[in-house]
A and B are shown apart, each in its own frame.
Chain A
Amino acid sequence: MAFKIAGSMAFKKGVMDCKPTLLEPVMLLNVVIPSESMGDVIGDLNSKRGKVLGVEADDDSQNIRAHVPMASLLNYAPELRALTGGRGEFEMEFDHYDDVPEHIASKIIEEAQSKKENKE
């Protein structure tokens, strides 16, 4: 019991010196849209911190593959429909975890801490 507490204490203290970093889930997003919506959809992906991996054209539709943080995609279904007049379709799956950029991380940490305080 005492060694368990010691281990836990050591770890919590040590981690502070190890540059703790917040990670977020990043999705692999596959979007199929009519060509005329291309500019709007790419612009939106950029504003969502997405990284476009590739674009394939097929007749008059475009297939975009991108890595996008899950946090930016919680409302993607209605957003994409609005951007493409209902025509756009997408699928996504979890791909990997990645560092949350500093300015966004600090907001998430602040929020989590204020929630914790509210509870206490």
Chain B
Amino acid sequence: MKSYSAEWIRNVGLIGHGGSGKTSTAEAILYIAGVSDRLGKIGDNSSIMDFDPDEVKRGNSTNASLATFEFEKHKINLIDTPGTNNFVGDTVGCIRVVDGAVVVIGAETGVQFYTEKTWKWANDQGIPRIIFLNKMDSEEAQITSILDVVRKKFSVKPVLMDLPVGKGAEFKGIVDLVEQKYFEYEKDGKGIGKPTDIPANLADEVETTRMELVEAVAEADDVLIEHYLETGELTEEEFLGGLRQGISTGRLVPVLLGSALHNIGIDRLMDAMVQYFPSPDKRSAQLATTLNGEDTTEVATNVEGPFTAQVFKTIADPYAGKLTLFRVFSGKLTGDSSVYNVNQETSERVGQLMSLQGKKQIQLPEVVAGDIACVAKLKVTGTGDSLGPDAKDAVKFDDIPFPKAVLARGMVPKTRADEEKISNALHRLCEEDPTIKVERDPQTHELIVSGMGAVHLDVILERLKRRFGVEVDVKPPKVPYLETIRKSTKVQGKYKKQTGGRGQYGDCWLEIGPIAKGEGFQFENKIVGGSIPRGYVPAVEKGVHEAMAGGVLAHFPMVDIRVAVYDGSYHDVDSS
């Protein structure tokens, strides 16, 4: 694919609740764009975006997928994200690198909790949004009630750009309120709306809804509202300008309608991506830190600047090996060169630059500021890392706010062979997925793997098995209990074995008592008058210390104890 400059690029994420139709929407888009020659279906191997075996098996997305395509002179990098708490990492990574997000809402279910979460993340990062109300073919499809929820929950003004024609199974087209045209779709799923006259019975509704739309756009801008109040209309240019302005400040959210399943309204959604979302060079500068002096700096999308990029996703491809997906924020990168990894403080060789269409790779001659691309077989680079040209000009972008793992499990490899392979395998999985955490509990020595939920942990286990041939049993982590004491005492310990040959003799009196929380262990030598020679005292301490490792109650380590040896006796020959 040829190289596009920033103004001709759009980086778009599909976000929202699982099951709302994000992947189906992506499939319909790729079909219209000519990337696929039939409409991909979820869960039957025909999907371009849900190609991972985990996804085919589950029938939903467990990974973010990238597909790049050309559309109306533009290059669109489309990222489809999973819609559950278990795979949030990919959604958070995606939101960092896109300049616009399509929030897909199922018109039969409305706003769900994951719609709210993804909305909040996109809002926090200042990413402009469009709502795509999918499943308009459903008998239960709603519009007004959903927009009421959006208005209330997200404190934005949703503006309806469309009106549906036909309800439920009869849904067959969309009135475009901006162009004031009716687009009707054939049942063939080709997805190309044919402009037709607006059905007469809808004329009034079109009129009022369009008024609301124009008014909402006018209100988003002080100059526009003045002109609107004077003339009662906005020019096409004013309208588009106001709409873009309202979207980028987050005050307005255009709402488009459609059905991904029947490929209705998807062509219009694609137009909207190009028309309404900003190109990367219109995005506000990214914050970063310089390497010398820890100064904060702003990186604008400028192809003339030094090369800077951030990795947002790592894919393990069964054939190509490790694929590193990154967004270039400034400068450009050509293939067969090298980059400096700021986080790992080392250079990496870079081979062929590529983009992806699901699992298919497309060669790229170069990647310029604002674009998204991937490269195979980087050695140490992990998700979230910042890349630069060299140690001098590199900057470190703010960390991607990946959430912390919330569910921990103890892992027990099934065999010795599994035991040997597991740490390398887990290390590789961690590089790919920053929401996995691996640690060994210092007290219980258990190998603990934490993730975002039970399904995430299941997928981790399946990957261990499928990709690395490692099988493990999992169980809830052991709780690292401790033991301590609450009272003091004095006690004698006498060890004597003096039958035949060289005997053994040791005798000591200890004071044992509690000390403050967190003090651990204190040992004191209070011997006066040499009842035990100095040289034997360390042996007493060692004996106490070893006894503390497994307490008397349940063999947990003992802490916060003070021991003093203050008396005893010894034998000239037999003591040691």
- B481/A7 in contact, CB under 8 A: no
- A10/B493 in contact, CB under 8 A: yes
Q: Which of B114, B454, B543, B574 has the most CB of A within 10 A?
A: B543
Tell me which residues from 36 to 73 in chain A have a Cβ below 8 Å from any Cβ of chain B: 70-71
B residues less than 8 Å from A75 (CB atoms) = 407, 476
- A10/B508 in contact, CB under 8 A: yes
Q: Does B513 contact A (CB under 8 A)?
A: yes
With A10-B493, A11-B493, A74-B408: A2-B576 Cβ-Cβ less than 8 Å: yes
Partner of B487, one of A9, A19, A81: A19
The interface-forming segment of B37-45, B166-174, B186-194, B553-561 is: B553-561
Q: Does B477 contact A (CB under 8 A)?
A: yes
Q: Nearest Cβ distance between residue B575 and chain A, in whole angstroms?
A: 6
B residues less than 8 Å from A22 (CB atoms) = 481-483, 553-554, 556
Which partner residue on chain A sits nearest B117 by CB separation? A87
Chain A: interface residue total (CB-CB under 8 A): 49
Partner of B506, one of A5, A20, A86: A5
| Interface residue range, chain B | 35 or more
Q: Nearest Cβ distance between residue B105 and chain A, in whole angstroms?
A: 16
Complex CA gap A4/B497 in Å reads: 14
Q: Nearest Cβ distance between residue A67 and chain B, in whole angstroms?
A: 14
Q: Nearest Cβ distance between residue B363 and chain A, in whole angstroms?
A: 41
Complex CA gap A75/B475 in Å reads: 11
Q: Which of A3, A70, A74 has the most CB of B within 10 A?
A: A3
- A21/B536 in contact, CB under 8 A: no
Q: Which of A6, A70, A116 has the most CB of B within 10 A?
A: A6
B residues less than 8 Å from A81 (CB atoms) = 85, 453
Complex CA gap A109/B536 in Å reads: 35
Q: Does B528 contact A (CB under 8 A)?
A: no
- A113/B493 in contact, CB under 8 A: no
Tell me which residues from 179 to 222 in chain B have a Cβ below 8 Å from any Cβ of chain A: none
Tell me which residues from 438 to 485 in chain B have a Cβ below 8 Å from any Cβ of chain A: 452-454, 476-477, 479-485
A residues less than 8 Å from B563 (CB atoms) = 11
- B479/A70 in contact, CB under 8 A: yes
Q: Does B178 contact A (CB under 8 A)?
A: no
- A20/B517 in contact, CB under 8 A: no
B residues less than 8 Å from A7 (CB atoms) = 493, 506, 508, 510, 539-544, 547, 565
A residues less than 8 Å from B551 (CB atoms) = 15, 20
Q: Does B287 contact A (CB under 8 A)?
A: no
- B495/A5 in contact, CB under 8 A: yes
Complex CA gap A27/B430 in Å reads: 25
Q: Does B125 contact A (CB under 8 A)?
A: no
Complex CA gap A1/B541 in Å reads: 11
B residues less than 8 Å from A71 (CB atoms) = 479
Q: Nearest Cβ distance between residue B349 and chain A, in whole angstroms?
A: 38
- A86/B114 in contact, CB under 8 A: yes
Complex CA gap A51/B397 in Å reads: 39
Complex CA gap A9/B476 in Å reads: 35
- B558/A15 in contact, CB under 8 A: yes
- B408/A11 in contact, CB under 8 A: no
Which partner residue on chain A sits nearest B457 by CB separation? A77
- A19/B486 in contact, CB under 8 A: yes
With A23-B481, A75-B407: A85-B553 Cβ-Cβ less than 8 Å: no
B residues less than 8 Å from A18 (CB atoms) = 485-489, 512-514
Tell me which residues from 522 to 576 in chain B have a Cβ below 8 Å from any Cβ of chain A: 532, 536-537, 539-544, 546-548, 551-556, 558-559, 563, 565, 568, 574-576
Q: Which of A7, A18, A78 has the most CB of B within 10 A?
A: A7
B residues less than 8 Å from A83 (CB atoms) = none
B residues less than 8 Å from A15 (CB atoms) = 485, 512, 551-552, 558
Q: Does B406 contact A (CB under 8 A)?
A: yes
Which partner residue on chain A sits nearest B540 by CB separation? A7
Complex CA gap A85/B484 in Å reads: 41
With A25-B479, A112-B554: A8-B485 Cβ-Cβ less than 8 Å: no
With A5-B506, A15-B558, A78-B454: A100-B486 Cβ-Cβ less than 8 Å: no
B residues less than 8 Å from A9 (CB atoms) = 493-495, 543
Q: Nearest Cβ distance between residue A92 and chain B, in whole angstroms?
A: 8
- A17/B491 in contact, CB under 8 A: yes
Complex CA gap A93/B376 in Å reads: 37
- A5/B407 in contact, CB under 8 A: no
Q: Does B245 contact A (CB under 8 A)?
A: no
B-contact 0/1 string along A95-120, CB 8 Å cutoff: 01100100001001101110010000
Complex CA gap A15/B493 in Å reads: 12
Complex CA gap A50/B267 in Å reads: 54
Which partner residue on chain A sits nearest B565 by CB separation? A7
- A86/B113 in contact, CB under 8 A: yes
Q: Does B509 contact A (CB under 8 A)?
A: yes
B residues less than 8 Å from A112 (CB atoms) = 553-556
Q: Does B239 contact A (CB under 8 A)?
A: no
B residues less than 8 Å from A76 (CB atoms) = 406-407
Which B residues fall within an 8 A CB radius of A? Answer: 85, 112-114, 116-117, 403-404, 406-408, 452-454, 476-477, 479-495, 497, 504-510, 512-514, 517, 532, 536-537, 539-544, 546-548, 551-556, 558-559, 563, 565, 568, 574-576
Return 8 A-B CB contacts under 8 Å, by A number.
A6-B493, A7-B541, A24-B481, A74-B477, A78-B453, A91-B406, A108-B554, A112-B555
> When A and B form their complex, which 10 residue pairs have the shortest distance between CB atoms, in order from nearest?
A10-B493, A7-B543, A14-B491, A112-B554, A2-B506, A6-B506, A18-B485, A7-B540, A8-B543, A3-B539
Known pairs A13-B491, A90-B406 / 7 extra A-B pairs, C-beta < 8 Å: A2-B575, A3-B537, A3-B543, A14-B490, A18-B513, A23-B484, A85-B113
Which A residues fall within an 8 A CB radius of B? Answer: 1-25, 70-71, 74-78, 81, 85-87, 89-91, 96-97, 100, 105, 108-109, 111-113, 116
